[in-house]
Amino acid sequence: MSASGSKLWGGRFGRPPDEVFYEFQRSFPFDRRLLPYELKVNRAWTRAIEKAGLLTAAEAASILGALDQIEARAASDRDWAQNSDAEDVHHFVESALVELIGPTGWKVHTGRSRNDLVATDFRLFVRDAVASTRHATAQLIASLLEQAKQHESVPMPGMTHLQHAQPILFAHFLLAHVEGFFRDIDRLETARRAAAECPLGAAALAGTAFPIDRAALAQELGFEGPTANSLDSVSARDFALDYLYALSVLATHLSRLSEDMVLFASSEFAFATPGDEHSTGSSIMPQKKNPDAWELIRGKTARATSALFGLLATLKGLPTGYQRDLQEDKEPVFAAHDQTLAGVQVAAGAVATMQVNETRLREAAGDPALLATEAADFLVLRGLPFRRAHEVVGKIVREAERSGQPWTSLPLDKLRSFSPLFDETLSQALSVDSAVAARDVEGGTAPARVREAIARCRERLNRLEASA
C-alpha cells in the first residue's frame, strides 16, 4: 500500500508539480514524527463530525477501524513511512485511509484544514515533550541533591572571577545549580500552559462551517479548552517559542554546570573526577581521561539557542494567517528537544557517577586568602567602618605577599601594627569552619542552613513528582 495515493489538492492544476519542488516542499520526512498525534486527532475529529451528523455511525466505525490499522502497521512496518512519498503526515494518513476503506476515507477531512490539524498535532507534541523534559530535569535535581547529601559538610573555595573569594560548602555550590533547574521546571510548565488550548475547529482560518462542539473536542484531546480566535489558532506558534526558550535556558544552565565540571576535572582543580561511565580516552595519550560528557553537553547548547533564534526569525515577517513558512517550525523544536533532553539525562548520570575528591576540596578551601574577609569583619565587630577594615586587611595581605608567607601566619604584634583592634581571639575567627558557620542567614552557606536547604529541595522535588 503506497500512502501517498493522489495529492490532496490536484483539482485546479493542469500539470503535476515539478519533482525537485515536490521534494522541497514535503514535510513528511520530519513531520512523520507527529503520526501518533495525527491519529489521535483524526479519531477525535471523526467522532466530532459523526456527532454533527456529517458521518453515519457505520462510516465513523469504518474510519476508526482503519485508523487502528494504520497505527498497527506503522508500528510493525517501519519502512512503510520511511518509503512513502506522502507530502506530509496529514496526507499520509488520509491516503492510507482511502486505500483501506475507499472514498469514505476522504470524509474525515470534512470541515477542517491541515492548518488547524498541524497546529493541533504540534501542540500535543509540545505538551508531551515538556512532560519528558520536566521528568528528566527532576532526575537531574535528584542526582545533585544526592551528591550534596553525600558531601554535606565538605568545604570548598567559593570563587568570583574564578579567583578564591570565600569558603563555602560544596553542597551549597551544588544547590546553586539545583535552584536554576527548579526554575527551568517552572519555565517548562509555562510552555505547557502556552500549548493548553485546542486549535481544532479553526479550519483554514475562519472557523469550521459545521456544528462542531469545540469544547468537547478539546477536552477529549486533553486540552484545557478551545482556542479563542480561529485566525490566531492557525497563525500562532508562541507555544513553540516558549518551549524553545525554556529549553534554551535549561541548556544554558546545563552548559554552565558542564563548564564547572570540566574545570573540576582538570589536574589543576582536581575537585571531582568524572566516572569511567561518563569519560572517554585519547587515541594517542594513554593517560588521558577526558570529561567528554560535559564538553558535549556544553557544546550542544548552541543547538537549542540557535533553534530559538531560528524560529523567531521565521515568524518575524509573516502576515496573519497560515503561511507555508510555518512548516519550518517543527525541525528546530525537534532538534532542540532531542538534544536538550539527552543532555539532561546524560548530566543526571554524570553527576551520579562523579567521584568527589573531599581531600582536595578541603585542601583548596584551606587557602588563607579565603579568610581575608573574616579579618575585616573581625575589625567591623570592634567598631571600625568596613571600608577602613577592608583597607587594613588589604595592606596586611600585600605585606605578607612581599615577604612570601601566608598572611595568617604573621604574628599578632605584627598584625596589631596595622590595627590595634586585633587581639588573640582573632585566631578563632580565622578558620574555614567559622567562616562558613558565620554565613547563617537564609540562603547562606552555614552547615545548618545547607542541611535545611537540602531537605526543602527534596520536599519540593517530591511535590513536583507527585503533581507530574
List residues binding ligand ARG (CB under 6 A): 27, 31, 88, 114-115, 118, 322, 324, 326-327
Q: How far is the CB of 322 from ligand ARG (least distance, A)?
A: 6
C-alpha closest to that of 365 among 169, 171, 185? 169
Helix axis angle for 35-51 and 89-101, nearest 10°, is: 60
**CB hemisphere CA count around 349 (13 angstroms):** 14
Output the nine-digit C-alpha cell for 80: 512503510
Residue 197 DSSP SS3: strand
Q: How far is the CB of 332 from ligand ARG (least distance, A)?
A: 13
- Helix, strand, coil percent values for the chain (each to nearest 5): 70, 5, 25
User: End-to-end alpha-carbon separation of the chain, Å?
Assistant: 40
Concerning whether 90 is annotated as a catalytic residue, the answer is no
Task: Please state, in angstroms and rounded to a whole number, the distance separating the CA atoms of residues 249 and 252.
Answer: 5
Per annotation, catalytic residue among 266, 282, 403, 427: 282
Q: How far is the CB of 28 from ligand ARG (least distance, A)?
A: 8
Residue whose CB is less far from ligand ARG, 168 or 333: 333
Task: Please state, in angstroms and rounded to a whole number, the distance separating the CA atoms of residues 95 and 102.
Answer: 10
Task: Please state, in angstroms and rounded to a whole number, the distance separating the CA atoms of residues 299 and 303.
Answer: 8
Residue whose CB is less far from ligand ARG, 84 or 115: 115
Residue whose CB is less far from ligand ARG, 91 or 107: 91
Q: How far is the CB of 235 from ligand ARG (least distance, A)?
A: 12
Give how far the C-alpha of residue 403 lies from the chain's centroid of Cα atoms, to the nearest Å.
51
Q: How far is the CB of 210 from ligand ARG (least distance, A)?
A: 19
Output the nine-digit C-alpha cell for 153: 559538610
Residue with cell string 514524527: 33
Residue whose CB is less far from ligand ARG, 81 or 262: 81
Q: How far is the CB of 8 from ligand ARG (least distance, A)?
A: 9
The one-letter code for the residue type at 127 is R
Task: Please state, in angstroms and rounded to a whole number, the distance separating the CA atoms of residues 423 and 427.
Answer: 9
Q: Determine contact, residues 291/265, Cβ cutoff 8 Å.
A: yes
Task: Please state, in angstroms and rounded to a whole number, the distance separating the CA atoms of residues 93 and 112.
Answer: 14
Residue whose CB is less far from ligand ARG, 324 or 402: 324
Q: How far is the CB of 87 from ligand ARG (least distance, A)?
A: 7
Each as own residue / partner, the long-range contacts of residues 448-451 (CB below 8 Å, 24 or more positions apart, any chain) are 450/148, 450/152, 450/169, 450/171, 450/172, 450/175, 451/152
Concerning whether 161 is annotated as a catalytic residue, the answer is yes
Residue whose CB is less far from ligand ARG, 115 or 137: 115
Q: How far is the CB of 334 from ligand ARG (least distance, A)?
A: 12
Residue whose CB is less far from ligand ARG, 59 or 121: 121
Task: Please state, in angstroms and rounded to a whole number, the distance separating the CA atoms of residues 225 and 375.
Answer: 62
Phi, psi (5° rounding) for residue 217?
Answer: -60, -45
C-alpha closest to that of 42 among 146, 116, 133? 116
Residue whose CB is less far from ligand ARG, 86 or 168: 86
Output the nine-digit C-alpha cell for 465: 513528582
- Answer positive or negative: Cα dihedral of 331, 82, 90, 130: negative
Residue whose CB is less far from ligand ARG, 78 or 324: 324
CA-to-CA separations, 434 to 38, 383, 426, in angstroms, rounded = 62, 20, 11
Task: Give the number of other CB atoms < 10 A from CB of residue 100.
Answer: 18
Q: How far is the CB of 218 from ligand ARG (least distance, A)?
A: 20
Task: Give the number of other CB atoms < 10 A from CB of residue 305.
Answer: 18
Per annotation, catalytic residue among 161, 267, 283, 467: 161
**CB hemisphere CA count around 409 (13 angstroms):** 8
Indicate which residues carry an active-site annotation.
161, 282
